Structure 1
């Protein structure tokens, strides 16, 4: 220690005396009781003349300020009065800040993240004094992000599940009475490929709407006024009118699309055109030509967009109906070609045309139609008429497999076509059964009357199971979802209305 260290108190001792002086009431430095060796502490002198440092060149250090910028200081609480300024030093343009508060470090992005969290979760995090490692909504949804509209959260697994599609209660228009396409059906369709499309064709009054309602969503014992496809009322039957106009659409919860159509070659539609003096499109000159072309357009459309087409007739048989089917097959639009990338390949499927399954439904069949001999003749006639058709009219539906005729072997029908018989719907009522003769014993009064065929309820159930179990081939060269089918069908309908083959056929009719 130098001599100056013995004659003058050290730095520590001077600071201690300075603090003691402040505690005693800031008395005068020359008052009694003061140590004669006491020298007031000058912080600037200590900075300039450190006692413990050797005498020599003193290096000036850059000051470090641990404070907020002036902009942030103005927003926060008022800062205390700063200490006396140090000795003049080289000017510094910008202070060096080594630390930032947590609020400053977050910035605008951090503020957005906090605001996007639920209030309860933010309060919980602030209470615990912890900083979340990821947004709270991600913890709740387990990394799934925001939940899509129309979805529900499963409390067990924490995953979003899509709501079931809305159940249809009645049919809607796919094509209106002016033969214009309607877009309302797209709301009921999903993005899935397991779909079956069933259409119907038939003359007026054969029961098309009733059959489609029973195959889709209704039961025979229900009131016909509640059917999804409206049937003919008694008033319409009396004046010989038709109930369905255009094409009606209905889809079940099993994802089966049913298309009910207006009657083909309908006399009531022709009568309406003539009596109401409706203006025909410019390409048609005569009303009956326009009615026939409407029927061909609908049939050609169904042959292109349906997996199964049911042809309903109420008596056997009308040869003009089969000629109409063959004409519709002839003018059917071709299947759209595959993409250009695959068109150059020499695959076996290239250039193939699509044809649906066709089912001949004999509605309102009588007791003699269920006779095995008559049934065999009916199969033979249909096979002879349709032998040159590309429609799949045989091999996919069988009445013998339904156990309707338990005594007949499978080989009884050599050429079994897709033919199904349905009796009158009210044939099961008590009024339709034969009454017991007077004098008959109690045994015969308890037995049901002989009808010659199973009940209507059992037959319609067997028909439904057979149609729903049919194969579902691809309608085009690509697999279609329900929504893709809708857009595909809209394109086909537009092509049918502008078909050159149909236009040439209408000129031949004129």
Structure 2
């Protein structure tokens, strides 16, 4: 008997760990990432669960058959620059076991060949659904030279229309794309994992501050069905009042050197993160200040900061060492990934304004995407960037 009293609820669709047509024998597993990448290159596009296409349109037809009327689901998205381990983190959350014969990771991971060719694995947004009904969204890399190279015309203009009715240079469109991806994930996810490279890279922090600045006025997916706007002229009809929705962020810094992963450095980064986002919507605490003494030890502060549910979540992931490495490590690479997975699976992110099913979430997310591409706030920001030339140049 279902929770609503109905009998014999339809079973959840099965999500294949390996894509159709590739489970042949265990020999494919022994080649590592390079052979897995070669296998993925043989896939037909119909096997992909690509949510955001290479034409910058949200397409729901491929993912919709895998979703149900279940309302108990969690959406987790990841965003970050190239090669920082976004797909690896999602594979860990999914709980994939690529060591089993004939099985592949749900999200493709960069091989040495792809790195050497300066290419990227993920185009648009790739999606998967775990057995726990966690909808995972893996986005294409932001600030990516390979993404820019694929969208630039000989005259420098963009092949993609990222702002409706606007013709932009490829470099400006590339910057706006990163912002739009961030706004989308902050609007339709329960949890957004923000991945940075090393301890000194603050570019993702700045991107998320821009997302927070421009997201206002974009509703969560449960509100869209009540407004049904058809164009940018209907933005004033979106639901008003109450707190605006924004996903809970988890900040992850990867490729950290062993000597940089210490309680003292973690405490410094945690304080810097809190200061950077202290006036943002991502920090939901009431700005409470604990009366911590300066004499408090770094190790004690480290534990207190890890356990605080009101603070922004921060994880430091060491560089992946060789299996035969005998060097002492403060924390292993896999242990750090397990901690991130445990955090995501155990946390209670914000709820949407109204109860919504998986299928309605997807349909309304497509409308959210149209809001973002037609947003006058994002459009005005784009115009400011264009006139001031304050955007990334290749």
**Bigger-Rg structure (1/2):** 1
Alignment match of 2:370 (pick from 494, 497, 506): 494
Counterpart Cα distance in 2 of 1:223 and 1:202: 31
Query: 3-state DSSP class of the match of 2:63?
Result: helix
Query: 3-state DSSP class of the match of 1:165?
Result: coil
Over 3 Å counting, the alpha-carbon distance change for 1:295 and 1:286 in structure 2 is same
Which residue does the alignment assign to 1:433? 326
Which residue does the alignment assign to 1:361? 252
Query: Does the CA-based 8 Å contact 1:208-1:260 persist in structure 2?
Result: yes
Matched, 1:334 2:215: no
Which residue does the alignment assign to 1:253? 131
Query: Does the CA-based 8 Å contact 1:355-1:392 persist in structure 2?
Result: no
Give the C-alpha shift of residue 161 in structure 1. 6.1
Query: 3-state DSSP class of the match of 2:299?
Result: coil
Query: Does the CA-based 8 Å contact 2:249-2:312 persist in structure 1?
Result: no
Counterpart Cα distance in 2 of 1:334 and 1:371: 39
Query: Does the CA-based 8 Å contact 1:167-1:252 persist in structure 2?
Result: yes
Which residue does the alignment assign to 2:344? 467
Counterpart Cα distance in 2 of 1:312 and 1:244: 15
Over 3 Å counting, the alpha-carbon distance change for 1:392 and 1:256 in structure 2 is farther
Query: Does the CA-based 8 Å contact 1:376-1:413 persist in structure 2?
Result: no
Which residue does the alignment assign to 1:130? none
5+ unaligned residues in a row in structure 2: which ranges? 1-6, 20-47, 228-239, 287-297, 387-394
Which residue does the alignment assign to 2:73? 195
Query: 3-state DSSP class of the match of 1:409?
Result: helix
Matched, 1:480 2:345: no
Query: Does the CA-based 8 Å contact 2:15-2:130 persist in structure 1?
Result: yes
Greater RCO (CA < 8 Å, at least 6 residues apart): 2
RMSD: 3.0
Query: 3-state DSSP class of the match of 2:251?
Result: strand
Query: Does the CA-based 8 Å contact 2:264-2:299 persist in structure 1?
Result: no
Instruction: Map 1:203-214 to 2 at 5 A.
Output: 203-214=81-92
Which residue does the alignment assign to 1:378? 269
Give the C-alpha shift of residue 423 in structure 1. 2.0
Counterpart Cα distance in 2 of 1:203 and 1:163: 37
Query: 3-state DSSP class of the match of 2:167?
Result: coil
Which residue does the alignment assign to 2:197? 314
Query: 3-state DSSP class of the match of 1:507?
Result: helix
Counterpart Cα distance in 1 of 2:335 and 2:203: 31
Matched, 1:178 2:69: no
Give the C-alpha shift of residue 457 in structure 1. 3.0
Matched, 1:305 2:188: yes
Query: Does the CA-based 8 Å contact 2:214-2:377 persist in structure 1?
Result: yes
Over 3 Å counting, the alpha-carbon distance change for 1:279 and 1:197 in structure 2 is closer
Which residue does the alignment assign to 2:319? 424
Over 3 Å counting, the alpha-carbon distance change for 1:418 and 1:220 in structure 2 is farther
Query: Does the CA-based 8 Å contact 1:296-1:328 persist in structure 2?
Result: yes
TM-score (norm 1): 0.57
Instruction: Map 1:3-402 to 2 at 5 A.
Output: 162-169=10-17, 170=19, 172-182=49-59, 183-219=61-97, 226-274=104-152, 279-281=159-161, 283-332=166-215, 333-335=217-219, 350-392=241-283
Give the C-alpha shift of residue 370 in structure 1. 2.1
Alignment match of 2:379 (pick from 503, 507, 510): 503
Counterpart Cα distance in 2 of 1:253 and 1:225: 16
Counterpart Cα distance in 1 of 2:124 and 2:364: 18
Give the C-alpha shift of residue 230 in structure 1. 0.8
Give the C-alpha shift of residue 291 in structure 1. 0.6
Query: Does the CA-based 8 Å contact 2:94-2:130 persist in structure 1?
Result: yes
Total equivalences in the alignment: 315
Range that drifts further, 363-372 or 162-171 = 162-171
Give the C-alpha shift of residue 354 in structure 1. 0.7
Query: Does the CA-based 8 Å contact 2:75-2:191 persist in structure 1?
Result: yes
5+ unaligned residues in a row in structure 1: which ranges? 1-158, 341-348, 396-406, 435-449
TM-score (norm 2): 0.72
Over 3 Å counting, the alpha-carbon distance change for 1:310 and 1:280 in structure 2 is closer
Q: Deviations over 1:320-365 (max 9, x none)?
A: 322211111122143266959xxxxxxxx94320121101112122
